[in-house]
Chain A
Amino acid sequence: MGFTEETLEKTGQGEPDWLRERRRTAFAAYERMPMPSRTDEEWRRTDVTGLDPAKFATLEHANGHKQETPKLPAGVIFEPLSLAAHKHRQLVEPLLFSALHANRDRFAALHAAFFTGGNFLYVPDGVVIEEPILRQHFSHEGGTTVLPHTVIVAGRNSRFYYLDEYIGEEEEAGYRSGSAEIFVGEGADVGYVSIQKWGRHAWHLADQRARLEKDSRLRLFNITLGGRFSKTRVEASLVGPGSSAELKGIYFASGEQFFDFHTLQDHQVGNTTSDLLFKGALQDTARAVYAGLIRIEKGAARSDAYQANRNLVLSEHARATSIPMLEIDNNDVRCTHGATVGPVDPMSMFYLQSRGIPATTAKRMIVQGFFGEVLERIPFEQARTLVETELEARLG
């Protein structure tokens, strides 16, 4: 079987020509490009030899449920992407896949060719939405491919929160993504949270990329819990002076789960700030790979960048690899990074147990405390509660 031109044409049915053409170009790239091999630096520690996306060539459309969408102020556009492509071509065409390039690798191409569903949010200049916009994306069957794509455009001085929740109900393997492009306009303030809870047998490959204009602010939280295999790239380009990106991650892996994160803090201009912290706990035989890069371009003076990855290893057989990298081309900057991998501190355990707290409870408290630092930074209540509940259920 596999992905065919026929599938492609069917997927693009009813869409405007420019978008169908774009899908075709991406499909050609998919056909042309080889699978990443372990000689590619990015994939050295990430084994995709067991993955053949063609096995999951049935597409599941996940236009998703709008749940409790607040009454949106006038001028706000919030529509399924395929519909927005028709109605708001001048907005969608220049931005769609401008931050995430289809020809980056085979998986990105597949996503760009066959993205099914996803949403387009446009918030005009000066508009503030107090209630967060919550979206859920479901997959119901095994053996399928589900590729939601989110495009968020924040106008000048706008402010709002957005949550993408990816939920898998099936028990069998499938191919999943959940990518987002976020364009933060001048002076805008965006809070974005994604929670990935695909089924425990799913292959998940997704890219989240943001572009920050002058004096804008983005708080992006990536919560990864699901999938048998999950690889996510979280990237922010600071292109306007005064912009600031807070990139935070929480992951909890158990059983045989494998999580891979590649992050990028791309300071293209000066007076920009980025603050990254990815914290994960690993149980059973789970594995995590983190590789992050802070890139300070030549002209990006007075930039301030922080990058940290902390891994808590809860079992004897869980493993973590952490590669925090810096490429600094300007001297007038402050860049700091750190990485740790380690077990639960025996002193803390002893302290709690000596006060009569059973070992399992003590361990759970320590893990909760470990995540607390990131949890409390999640910008809106709904997402915070949701993540807390999910973590609690998993900690048992």
Chain B
Amino acid sequence: MATVPKQIEIGSDYKEKYGFSVPEDYIFKAKRGLNPEIVKEISWMKKEPEWMLKMRLRSLEIFRKKPMPTWGADLSVIDFENIFYYLKASDKQSKTWEDLPPDIKKTYDRLGVPEAERKFLAGVSAQYESEVVYHSLHEELSKKGVIFTDTDSALRDHPELFKEYFGTIIPPADNKFAALNTAVWSGGSFIYVPKGVRVDIPLQAYFRINAENMGQFERTLIICDEGSFVHYIEGCTAPIYTTDSLHSAVVEIIVKKNARCRYTTIQNWSTNVYNLVTKRALAYADATMEWVDGNLGSQITMKYPSVYLMEPGAKGDVLSVAFAGKGQHQDAGGKMIHVAPNTTSTITSKSISKGGGRTSYRGHIKMYPDAKNSKSFVKCDALLLDDQSRSDTYPYNDVDAENVTLGHEATVSKVSDEQLFYLMSRGITRNEAETMIVNGFIEPFTKELPLEYAVELNRLIQLEMEGSVG
């Protein structure tokens, strides 16, 4: 960073500023636990078509049959019977900002949603308690034929488009948590960008978890038709609670010929959330898919955004940042599956561990026999801020194609004494200096973010760094 970040008084009033929770007020609250009756109830509440109910029930079966993953983070403490699988905050969708219930507005105020973001809020679908309550489609988008809605409304309003793609990229049997999500999903975003349409402003959604022990199982589906472009941003903050909650989302994206899609995430769940997310995109001829993925919060995150490069010329990009503080385990990374010839991919991972936190990079590059002349490059850098923290790198590289080039590089280091000395000799305190170095370390990530998010991220890092070392 070129300028010295202004020291802001965040650490002292963290609880007040971010640790809020507004009183629960629900129209409908399903019972705890997971069984066919609850799934039927959710589907009935949402007035869903028969095929969706069947799919949910089938997925529940799959979820029950699949074993828990034995690799990665320790998931044994999740108690699936002690989770609310569906909540609905208000029975009617709001039309404008003014119509939003005051409680929710208050939530945004307390979050300190940046000014620029509020400006865009007209185009935001803000998720509060599992279901989108506020939704206002920008007129211009509407005119261009862009659909930007919550996934529940999409099922109702665009059933054919929905049925064509839903669950085709990540089928319920893909993994245990994809099956769980398909069984109980609720909320999330649905985006359709027609042929040749470029959406110039990023589409944003704010997700929130609020009820204690509440799982959030949003489902996002993005379809970029030929030659289109869209940038979707999801940012998450969550209040601090004492018992574990589960967040298990599924994100499916299709990027058709010549189209480009960028999906940006800043994940900052409170440190008791288990964040187990499946994200996958299919990129067709000359299409570009970019995942920009920042993981700061949660107790455990297991998330490996992937791109399947289906046709010649497809390009996949993952830029991932993970920050693990005390008690946190960020098991993140990316997957690039090269199916067609002349496809390219890059994965850049930056991870920071502090105060006994653990970051793991887990990645997979697969080149199928048809993926001739493809190229892939992976770079992972890890920064360890103290001697209690841990960093792992598990890259899997399988090459079954001819004439391909694959590279992987990784380094693990601490904040160098030279850098610290240089900054401190100029009168900067140790803590400030370390914060600057960490912010500099993740700069390749921050510079890809819209300004207001970059500012927010720098503030979050500052907050995490406060009172850390020295």
Residues of A within 8 A of B (CB): 41, 45, 298, 301, 313, 315-317, 319-343
Given contacts A320-B399, A328-B384, contact A333 B405 (CB under 8 A): no
Q: How far is the CA of A330 from the CA of B353 in the complex (A)?
A: 11
| Segment from B93-101, B162-170, B389-397 that makes contact with A | B389-397
Do A331 and B407 touch (CB < 8 A)? no
Q: Which residues of B contact A340 (CB under 8 A)?
A: 405-408
A338 contacts B408, C-beta separation under 8 Å: yes
Which one of A301, A336, A338, A343 contacts B407 once the chains associate, using CB atoms below 8 Å? Answer: A338
Task: Indicate if B31 sits at the interface (CB-CB under 8 A).
Answer: no
Of the candidates A331, A334, A335, the one having the most CB atoms from chain B within 10 angstroms of its own CB is A331
The verdict on B386 contacting chain A, using a C-beta distance below 8 Å, is: yes
Interface set, chain B 247-271, CB cutoff 8 A to A: none
- The answer to whether residues A341 and B410 also contact, given A325-B393, A328-B391 and a CB cut-off of 8 A, is no
In the assembled complex, 29 residue pairs joining A and B whose CB atoms fall closer than 8 Å, in A order, are A45-B398, A298-B387, A301-B387, A313-B404, A316-B402, A322-B406, A323-B397, A324-B410, A325-B393, A326-B382, A328-B384, A328-B390, A328-B412, A332-B387, A332-B414, A334-B413, A335-B411, A336-B411, A336-B412, A338-B409, A339-B395, A339-B397, A339-B406, A339-B407, A340-B408, A341-B399, A342-B404, A342-B405, A343-B404
Residues of chain B contacted by A335 (CB below 8 angstroms): 410-413
Main secondary structure of the interface of A (DSSP, over half): strand
- Footprint of A on B, CB under 8 Å? 71, 353, 382, 384-387, 389-400, 402-414
A324 contacts B395, CB within 8 Å? yes
- Pick from A315, A319, A336, A343: contact of B400, CB below 8 A: A319
B residues less than 8 Å from A327 (CB atoms)? 390, 392
Pairwise interchain contact B410-A331, C-beta atoms closer than 8 A: no
Are the CB atoms of A343 and B405 closer together than 8 Å? yes
User: In the complex, how many angstroms separate the beta carbon of B282 from the nearest chain A beta carbon?
Assistant: 24
| B residues near A334, Cβ cutoff 8 Å | 411-413
Is A326 a contact of B391 with CB atoms below 8 Å?
yes
Q: Which of A298, A313, A338, A342 contacts B410 (CB 8 A)?
A: A338
Query: Which residues from B are CB-within-8-Å of A333?
Result: 384, 412-414
Q: Whole-angstrom distance from the CB of A259 to the nearest CB of chain B?
A: 14
User: In whole angstroms, how far apart are the Cα atoms of A325 and B395 in the complex?
Assistant: 6
Among B393, B394, B402, contact of A317 (Cβ-Cβ < 8 Å): B402
Contact B399 A321 (CB under 8 A): yes
> Are A322 and B408 touching (Cβ within 8 A)?
yes
Q: Which of A45, A320, A326, A332 has the most CB of B within 10 A?
A: A326
Residues on the A chain within 8 Å of B400, using CB: 319
Alpha-carbon distance A336/B411, docked complex (angstroms): 4
In the assembly, what is the distance between CA of A331 and CA of B468, in Å? Answer: 14
Chain A residue contacts of B395, Cβ below 8 A: 323-325, 339
Q: When chains A and B are docked, how far (Å) is the Cα of A323 from the Cα of B392?
A: 13
Closest B residue by C-beta to A335: B412
| Bound-complex Cα distance A319 to B371 (A) | 13
List of B residues within 8 angstroms of A342 by Cβ = 404-407
Question: A326 and B408: CB pair below 8 A?
Answer: no
> CB within 8 A of A326: which of B397, B404, B407, B410?
B410
Q: Among the listed A45, A316, A324, which residue makes an inter-chain contact with B408, where contact means beta carbons less than 8 Å apart? A: A324
Chain B residues closer than 8 Å to A336, beta-carbon distance: 409-412
Please give me the residue from chain A that is nearest to B359 by CB atom. A328
B353's nearest neighbour on chain A, judged by CB, is: A331
Minimum CB distance partner of A344 in chain B: B403
A2 to B406, CA, bound (A): 43
Q: Known pairs A313-B404, A340-B405, A343-B404. 15 more at Cβ < 8 A?
A: A321-B397, A322-B406, A324-B395, A326-B382, A331-B414, A333-B384, A334-B412, A335-B413, A337-B393, A337-B408, A339-B406, A339-B407, A340-B407, A341-B399, A342-B404
A301-B387, A322-B408, A331-B389 known; A343 and B403 CB under 8 Å?
Answer: yes
- CB pair B414–A341 under 8 Å, yes or no, is no
Bound Cα distance A336, B413 (Å): 9
Compute how far the CA of A328 lies from the CA of B352 in the bound complex, rounded to whole angstroms: 12
In the bound complex, how far is the Cα of B128 from the Cα of A169, in angstroms?
A: 73
A322 touches B384 (CB 8 A): no
Q: Is the CB of B391 within 8 A of A322?
A: no
Which residues on A sit within 8 Å (CB–CB) of B406? 322, 339-342
B377 to chain A, nearest CB (A): 9
Chain B, Cβ-Cβ closest to A345: B405
* Contact yes or no, B397 A331, CB < 8 A: no
Docked complex Cα distance between A316 and B399 (Å)? 12
Q: Name the residue of chain B whose CB is nearest to the CB of A290.
A: B397
Contact, CB under 8 Å: B394 / A325: yes
Q: A330 with B405: in contact, given A336-B410, A337-B393 (CB under 8 Å)? A: no
Cβ A325 vs Cβ B405 within 8 A = no
CB distance from B84 to the nearest CB of A (A): 35
Residues of A within 8 A of B407 (CB): 338-340, 342
Chain A residues near B393 (CB, 8 Å)? 324-326, 337
Which A residues touch B409, using CB under 8 A? 336-338
Q: Decide: A341 and B397 in contact? CB cutoff 8 A.
A: yes
Contact for A331 among B385, B392, B398, B404, CB less than 8 A: B385
Q: Sort A-B residue pairs by CB-CB distance and give the 8 closest, nearest first.
A: A331-B384, A326-B393, A316-B402, A342-B405, A331-B414, A335-B412, A339-B408, A341-B406
User: Is the pair A319, B414 in contact by a Cβ cutoff of 8 Å?
Assistant: no
Are A337 and B410 also in contact (CB < 8 A) when A316-B402, A319-B400, A324-B395 are? yes
Measured CB to CB, the nearest residue on chain A to B469 is A331
Q: Which residues of the partner chain B approach A328 to less than 8 Å between Cβ atoms?
A: 382, 384, 390-392, 412
Residues on A with beta carbons closer than 8 Å to the beta carbon of B71: 41
CB of B365 to closest CB in A, whole Å? 9
Hey, which chain B residues are within 8 Å of A329, CB to CB?
390
Task: Please name all residues of chain B whose beta carbon is closer than 8 Å to the beta carbon of A298 when the two chains form the complex.
Answer: 387
Q: How far is the CB of B260 from chain A (nearest CB, A)?
A: 27
- Residues from chain A with a CB closer than 8 A to the CB of B394 are 323, 325
Q: In whole angstroms, what is the CA distance A340 to B407 when docked?
A: 4
A342 and B374 CA atoms in complex are apart in Å by 10
Contact residues in B for A322 (Cβ distance below 8 Å): 397, 399, 406, 408
